[in-house]
Structure 1
Amino acid sequence: MDSDSTRRDLGGWEHLAPGVARRRLPFLDVTIGIVVGDEGVLMIDAGSTPREGEELRQQVMELTGRPVSHIVLTHGHFDHVLGASVFPHAQVYGEMSLDGYLERGGVTLRDDAVAHGVAPDEATEAIEALVRPGNLIHERYALDLGGAREVLLVHPGGGHTTHDLVVVVPGTPAVVFCGDLVEESGEPQAGPDSLARQWPATLDRLLRLGGETALYVPGHGAVVDARFVRAQRDELAARFGVS
């Protein structure tokens, strides 16, 4: 990728900082991120189906000239994990409890995918090929992609799920891939696997990780700033009756 740090579109990919970009997928407006180092290419989340994952695989190769070497799954919902099977040589990272969540939740993931518009046969194929993370993060882990490109994988606490994982890319500006702890294109979703009352405090920790000048990349929607994250934190606190 070009090292120009301006925000611009690269064939559907928005350049956020040197070696850092993201794309909003047409289906469900899911964000996919990439971070490029001298020795590795990290992709954040993998899309909703193997077909979507294959499109991403080809695009990242075209954009960077190298294959995806690492994948971070920000949480276990179908629209973020079911494309990972087309990256058999990538190291896959997730929060410590994500592995068990995926092991138990195949039927639920399939049904959720179908309910949101994935074809039943395609959803079944995706579940049969479901990839579980081989690298489990307890609290935080520094991932070295080479050439002084180190990113921080952090479980800031529960919120959207019990196993949310964020990716902090230091730099000017810093970039924080938030997963669905932050959403811009709709109200944050709190399902049965959420820890709603912990969510505001988790966003407080997220803001401390990124700081006031970071770019915060939601799981769905446009890139936002710290003021937006703080406002969403306050809305969630009011919604769930916590301070």
Structure 2
Amino acid sequence: MLQFNKNNVTVYQSSLWKTTSTVFETDNFILIIDPAWLPHEINEIKSYVEQIRNGRELYLLFTHGDFDHIIGYGAFPDAKVIGSLGMADHPNKQYKLDLINNFDREYYIDRPYPIEFPTIDIVIKEDGQQLEIGNTFITFYLSPGHTHDGLFAIIEPQGIWITGDYLSDFELPYLFDSAKAYLNTLLKAEKILKNHFISVLVPGHGHLTGNRDEMNRRIELAQEYLNRLIESVKNGDSQTIEQLGKEMSYHSTFTKECHKKNIEIIQNEFV
């Protein structure tokens, strides 16, 4: 499950959807990002945090409100929670909780903590908003498109970029909010690379990278895919639309549904 451990950054990867969970520590605090998925995986993260905590303040950051990212919330009841305004005012909180409960019931999973939607203590409302803790600054950027409540976070001066469900090494864009917003978020990602020192990019699914060329490649890959899909939908090019669906990794019922949703959103916005 451990993917990376270096320079006060520890990244775990779940067996499910290659979902990442990140722990960052300084002399002043510990930050946990999107703790997921299965009980033994969350317990591994919790045990590690307990071993290193030594009385330090604990923060939880959620990149967005999808159920696979908030599923570990209840395991850290004394943490201060950071999230976007869109997440704080999420219109479908109960639906997200139902997804967790249905998943657990289907696979006979018991969790030693309550299933609750995160209560946000520190609400991020705008691009460039910063949280200062000791000598560390966390700079936030709103990242709608995948969902309406997405959030980028850059931990400075270390240059750790938490991207949520963007810029995976294998996952093409999934639109559950807006294609236009997603493209604007990718433009924002380009500006972040130009204006911030970034040493490590950690996506919500897949592998992190410290290679700047790879970071740019991921941005370009997402842009190219979306632009091709938008053009093919606008032109009614069913052959290209079908081919683009097959380009998704781990081709499955799930990816077919995501591709179908992408087409639906693009039709509503561009046709």
Whether TM exceeds 0.5 here: the answer is yes
Which residue among 90, 113, 121 is the counterpart of 2:79?
Answer: 90
Contact kept in structure 1, 2:75 and 2:113, CA below 8 Å: no
Structure 1 residues 91 and 163, CA gap change in structure 2 (3 angstroms): same
The separation in 1 between residues aligned to 2:101 and 2:169, in whole angstroms, is 24
Which residue among 9, 24, 37 is the counterpart of 2:26?
Answer: 37
Tell me whether 1:104 sits opposite 2:89 in the alignment.
no
Cα shift at 1:124: 9.6
One-letter amino acid of the structure 1 residue matched with residue 46 of structure 2: R
Report what 1:196 is aligned to. Answer: 179
Structure 1 residues 170 and 93, CA gap change in structure 2 (3 angstroms): same
Report what 2:247 is aligned to. Answer: none
Cα shift at 1:54: 3.4
CA-atom RMSD in angstroms: 3.0
Contact kept in structure 1, 2:64 and 2:83, CA below 8 Å: yes
Gaps of 5+ in 2: 210-214, 232-265, 267-271
Report what 2:148 is aligned to. Answer: 162
Report what 1:72 is aligned to. Answer: 61
Return 43-52 or 134-143, whichever deviates more.
43-52
Secondary structure at the counterpart of residue 97 of structure 1 = helix
One-letter amino acid of the structure 2 residue matched with residue 229 of structure 1: I
**For residues 207-222 of structure 1, what are the structure 2 equivalents within 5 Å?**
207-211=190-194, 214-222=199-207
Which residue among 11, 14, 19 is the counterpart of 1:22?
Answer: 11
More helix by share: 2
Cα shift at 1:201: 1.6
Gaps of 5+ in 1: 1-10
The separation in 2 between residues aligned to 1:50 and 1:100, in whole angstroms, is 27
Deviations 1:130-163 (A, max 9, x none): 32212211014322332x22221221x4111111
Q: What TM-score, normalized by structure 2, do the two folds share?
A: 0.70
Report what 1:4 is aligned to. Answer: none
Secondary structure at the counterpart of residue 185 of structure 2 = helix
Cα shift at 1:202: 0.6
Q: What TM-score, normalized by structure 1, do the two folds share?
A: 0.78
The separation in 2 between residues aligned to 1:213 and 1:131, in whole angstroms, is 28
Cα shift at 1:127: 7.0
The separation in 1 between residues aligned to 2:200 and 2:222, in whole angstroms, is 15
The separation in 2 between residues aligned to 1:124 and 1:41, in whole angstroms, is 23
Report what 1:7 is aligned to. Answer: none
Secondary structure at the counterpart of residue 220 of structure 1 = coil
Which residue among 201, 220, 235 is the counterpart of 2:225?
Answer: 235
Contact kept in structure 2, 1:33 and 1:43, CA below 8 Å: yes
One-letter amino acid of the structure 2 residue matched with residue 62 of structure 1: Q
The separation in 2 between residues aligned to 1:92 and 1:127, in whole angstroms, is 16
Contact kept in structure 1, 2:35 and 2:69, CA below 8 Å: yes
Give the number of the structure with larger relative contact order, counting CA–CA contacts within 8 Å between residues 6 or more apart. 1
Structure 1 residues 110 and 39, CA gap change in structure 2 (3 angstroms): same
Contact kept in structure 1, 2:97 and 2:115, CA below 8 Å: no
The separation in 1 between residues aligned to 2:13 and 2:57, in whole angstroms, is 18
Contact kept in structure 2, 1:183 and 1:221, CA below 8 Å: yes
One-letter amino acid of the structure 2 residue matched with residue 165 of structure 1: L
Deviations 1:78-111 (A, max 9, x none): 110021111111110110010221x6331x2244
Which residue among 187, 190, 213 is the counterpart of 2:172?
Answer: 187
Secondary structure at the counterpart of residue 70 of structure 1 = strand
The separation in 1 between residues aligned to 2:151 and 2:129, in whole angstroms, is 11
Tell me whether 1:136 sits opposite 2:119 in the alignment.
no
One-letter amino acid of the structure 2 residue matched with residue 43 of structure 1: I
Report what 1:3 is aligned to. Answer: none
